[in-house]
Amino acid sequence: MHYYRYENAEVSCCYKYLMFSYNIIFWLAGAAFIAIGFWAWSEKGVLLDLTQVTRLHGFDPVWLVLLVGAITFILGFAGCVGALRENICLLKFFSGVIGLIFFLELTAAVLAFVFQDNVREWINDFFLANVKAYREDIDLQNLIDSLQKLNHCCGAKEPDDWNLNAYFNCTNNNPSRERCGVPFSCCLSDPAVSNLPSIPYSSHLLLQGDWINYIYIKGCIPALEEWLPRNLYIVAGVFIILSLLQMMGIFLARTLIVDIEKVKFNY
């Protein structure tokens, strides 16, 4: 029986360590996201009382941080270990999940374009649900405040949307000192330095024609609809960069799998 030794019957070190370098960044980033998420929960006392997670009626941004962190950590781990150990199963898992995510992104983009009215209505309902839960979670509150400040907007479609919140509701039996008001992030000027500190607590008592002098009157959904066409190239650029990174990961994983299978076949 004769044994033949094939030249270059080994896995390409170039692809192997490129794959490792590509994934170690995501692995560490995923670990950082998870750590930040749990730190945020510890600051809010959620880790001491996990029932707080189920009591929140709005969207907790920490969930998004943890989800992104977990997916990134798992994919980074599979890619790193799969490359170093030349494990075909882990590499196939990595490339398969990346491919699935890429497909879901394309599908979501196409569906959002085709069903624009439905998406707009869903976003409106989602925003209103979080308006109601504005005071229930500090991270949600900061997220909405940042959105309103950056886009110079107030409420989902108009400032009156804040009437849905228990603290800002403009009913006679509401004991809140913020009754008939809107959050400070709706104000044209910071109430802390303005000579009109009572405006946020009485905006609904003003005539609607006077709102423009004190608060943003445009809703955040119309503001985002105006923002998107103005920044279409930026959005497209981000999407293209993410797509190229994903395709590069799939290419490296599939190339490494082919190399490993060739080496196993030769031996």
Domain ranges of the chain: 1-43+60-125+240-266
Instruction: Give the separation between CA 42 and CA 47, rounded to whole angstroms.
Output: 5
37: Cβ contacts below 8 Å, ≥ 6 apart: 62, 65, 66, 69
From 246, 206, 266, 265, select the one nearest 98 (Cα to Cα): 246
Whether the per-residue pLDDT at 196 is higher than 70: the answer is no
Residue 154 has pLDDT above 70, yes or no: yes
Q: What is the pLDDT of residues 125-140, one digit of tens each?
A: 999 999 998 988 888 8
Q: Check residue 45 and give its pLDDT.
A: 65
Q: Is 161 left (phi over 0), alpha (psi -120 to 50) or beta?
A: alpha
Q: Give the pLDDT score at 14.
A: 83
Quick: pLDDT tens for 167-183.
888 888 888 888 888 89
Q: What is the pTM of this model?
A: 0.77
Q: What is the pLDDT of residue 28?
A: 93
Q: Read off the pLDDT band of 60 (50, 70, 90).
A: confident
Evaluate whether 148 touches 130 at the Cβ level (below 8 Å): no
Q: Contact 249/22 with Cβ under 8 angstroms?
A: yes
pLDDT over 80 at 57, yes or no: no
Q: How much is the mean pLDDT over the chain? A: 83
Beta carbons of 33 and 65 less than 8 angstroms apart: yes
Mean predicted confidence (pLDDT) in 196-204: 47
pLDDT over threshold 70, residue 229: yes
Give the confidence band of 212 by pLDDT, cuts at 50, 70, 90.
confident
Residue 200 has pLDDT above 60, yes or no: no
Q: Is the dihedral of CA 122, 44, 147, 215 positive or negative?
A: positive
Q: What is the mean pLDDT of residues 84-103?
A: 93
pLDDT at 51: 56
Q: Mean of the pLDDT values across residues 36-64?
A: 70
Residue that the structure tokens 């009572």 belong to: 198
Choose the weakest-confidence range: 68-82, 99-113, 160-174.
160-174
Is residue 248 pLDDT above 50, yes or no?
Answer: yes
**% of the chain surpassing 70 pLDDT:** 82
Q: Identify the pLDDT of residue 20.
A: 92
Nearest alpha-carbon partner for 252 in 26, 61, 70, 42? 26
pLDDT at 197 over 50: no
Q: Angle at the Cα of 78 (from 73 to 79), degrees rounded to 5?
A: 100
**Residue 57 Cα distances to 20, 63, 219, angstroms:** 41, 13, 22
